Amino acid sequence: MRQLRIITLKFMNKLSLLIIVFFSYLSIVFSQNTNQDSLSLKDSDLVLVDGVFAIIGDNVIFHSDINDLMMQYQSQGFDSPNLKNQVVEELFFQKILLHFAAIDSLEIDANEIESTIEQRISFFEQQLGSKEKVEDYFNKSVIELVNELKPIVENQLLVQKMQFSIVKDVDVSPSELNEFYNNLTPDSIPIIETQFQVAQILKEPEPSIIAIEETLSKLEELRNRILKGSDFSTMAILYSEDPGSSRNGGAYYNVKKGFFVKEFEAVAFSLQPDEISEIFETEFGYHIVQLIDRRGNEIDVRHILMTPKISNQDMLDAKSFLQSLKNDIIDSTMDFSSAAKEFSSDKDTKFNGGLLINPNTNNSFFSITEFESLDLSLLNEIELLSVGLITDPMYIKLPSGKEAYRILKLVSKKNEHIANLIDDYPYLKNYFSNIKQERILNEWYKDKVKDIYISSSEILNYEFYSNLINNE
């Protein structure tokens, strides 16, 4: 038996596949404009006329759902003779989760849907270069794209929430992990890919005083117009630079205390209904806020956001600052960790020496595969570094859409090796936790499939369904 490799993105159980389903469904519109030669299905898999493949409870799987998802898997390098069976099973499992999410009355907050959509739109903008290029690519406005994504995103968030409710209590004790590891045969012990530990100092450019004054002047003018009778919602649609709310007239509804940054929240909760705030600043820019309604610790609010414009010179100043900072660190005038704490614009890393945290494991080590998925340019830079060395300033476009520069330091490197409990405890714990969650999901799956209406003339031909039936 070949030894297994712990490669987060290639460890394909129901959990990881559902994550892929999530992003794939958000990218279905993307695939409609993608080169069909590179993503085309095998002729035998094509369904020329769309129709219902299966009805599971109140949910439907269409033939096009299967084809779209297969194309997404193939575009990401996932392909096998059994791919169609896997895809059908994942869609089948997803619909069962949706069915029982409805039975359990699970709901997704509207703000979470909006936030997730905004992240997807931001991702498209990063890939294509700008909002205008996104609209050109899809041949539809951002508003139209958002409306298409809303039901998709809501369903996928419901799937995630239902799945989490099933496995949320899963834990792996030290004794369980020891027993699991010691029962592995020598040739089945996972191999850990080469791991990198990387720190960064991020520098967002600072706007000029003139740019700040221009922004404040524009926002003050808007505030005066609203006070004289102009509609706040209309002004927000026309002028607000918050992509998450501007198309909704700047509104956020049913927001509980703790959702907004503290500066915004302090102002919003201090207002009376219909009252307009003075101009105030947060990390996102400058705002005016109107309180719509308040119910204890929950509010409906609308706002207009404006941010000072960053010039080319501001960008060059940020780059020059980091180059100078790098030179100081090399000359031992300052160490990297202290410099990160004092100067980095990234509040998530500046207080831990600038160390990047792996979202898959919650520690500071990344595999090559994980770096590839996060930022291929980052991997290319890191692979050229020796431990302890620092890159020149590198341009980065942040998830928020802001532009910045950063310097990176390769803190340490672990070469590929057979996993052991001393050096790789977090990875092995995560690995075994995935296995435990998979078992629980499978048990839940086999139990619930007995209690749901299923109608399909084709699903009996699929291996996974035959196994479910035979196991009952």
Spatial separation of the C-alpha atoms in residues 447 and 91, rounded to whole Å = 17
pLDDT of residue 32: 44
Q: State the Cα–Cα distance between residues 101 and 97, nearest whole angstrom.
A: 6
Higher pLDDT, 4 or 431: 431
> 291 with 272: CB under 8 angstroms?
yes
pLDDT of residue 28: 46
pLDDT in tens, 376-401: 567 777 878 899 999 999 998 887 77
The chain-wide mean pLDDT, for the chain, equals 82
Q: Beta-carbon neighbour count of residue 164 at 10 Å?
A: 11
Residues of the chain with pLDDT > 90, as a percent, come to 41
Model confidence over 84-96: pLDDT tens digits? Answer: 888 888 888 899 9
pLDDT tens digit sequence for 227-239? 999 999 999 999 9
The answer, yes or no, to whether residue 6 has pLDDT greater than 60, is no
For residues 138-145, average pLDDT: 82
What is the pLDDT, as a whole number, of residue 72? Answer: 80
Q: Measure the CA–CA gap between 286 and 278, rounded to whole angstroms.
A: 10
- Identify whether the C-beta of residue 27 lies closer than 8 Å to the C-beta of residue 72: yes
Q: Is the pLDDT of residue 152 over 60?
A: yes
* Highest-pLDDT range among 58-67, 216-225, 442-451: 216-225
Query: What pLDDT does 23 receive?
Result: 46
Average of per-residue pLDDT across 348-375: 82
- The full DSSP string for 232-285 is HHHHHHHH---TTTGGGTTEEEEEETTSS-HHHHHHHTTPPTT-BPPPEEETTE
The band of 145, judged by pLDDT with boundaries at 50, 70 and 90, is confident
Q: For the chain, what percent of residues have pLDDT higher than 70? A: 86
DSSP type of residue 289: E
Predicted confidence at residue 462, as pLDDT, reads 78
More confident residue, 59 or 28: 59
Sequence-separated (6 or more) residues with CB below 8 Å from residue 94: 18, 21, 159
Q: How confident is the model at residue 195 (pLDDT cuts 50, 70, 90)?
A: confident
Q: For the chain, give percent helix, strand, coil, nearest 5.
A: 50, 15, 30
What pLDDT score was predicted for residue 397?
82
pLDDT band, residue 411 (cuts 50/70/90)? very high
Which fold would CATH assign to domain 209-306? Chitinase A; domain 3 (3.10.50)
Domain segments of the chain as ranges? 5-173+425-471, 194-205+311-415, 209-306
Looking at this protein, which amino acid is placed at residue 260?
F
The amino acid at residue 170 is V
User: What is the b/e burial string over 191-200, where b = at least 16 CB atoms within 10 angstroms of the residue's CB?
Assistant: ebbbbbbbbb
pLDDT at 468: 67
Report the length, in residues, of the chain: 472
Mean pLDDT, residues 181-202? 91
Mean pLDDT to the nearest integer, 281-302: 92
Q: How confident is the model at residue 450 (pLDDT cuts 50, 70, 90)?
A: confident
pLDDT, tens only, 10-52: 233 444 444 444 444 444 444 444 433 333 344 444 444 458 8
Q: In this predicted structure, what is the pLDDT of residue 4?
A: 36
List the CATH code of the domain at 5-173+425-471.
1.10.4030.10
Same fold? 194-205+311-415, 209-306: yes
pLDDT level of residue 343 (50, 70, 90 thresholds) = very high
User: Which has more pLDDT, 331 or 76?
Assistant: 331
pLDDT score of 271 more than 70: yes
Mean pLDDT of 438-456: 86
pLDDT at 98: 92
In the chain, the N- to C-terminal Cα span, in Å, equals: 31
The mean pLDDT of 355-375, rounded to a whole number, is 78
Question: What CATH fold (topology level) applies to the domain 194-205+311-415?
Answer: Chitinase A; domain 3 (3.10.50)
pLDDT digits (tens, 9 = 90+) for 115-124: 888 778 777 7
> What is the widest separation between alpha-carbon atoms in the chain?
77
- The model's pTM: 0.61
Among 137-146, 208-217, 290-299, 441-450, where is mean pLDDT lowest? 137-146
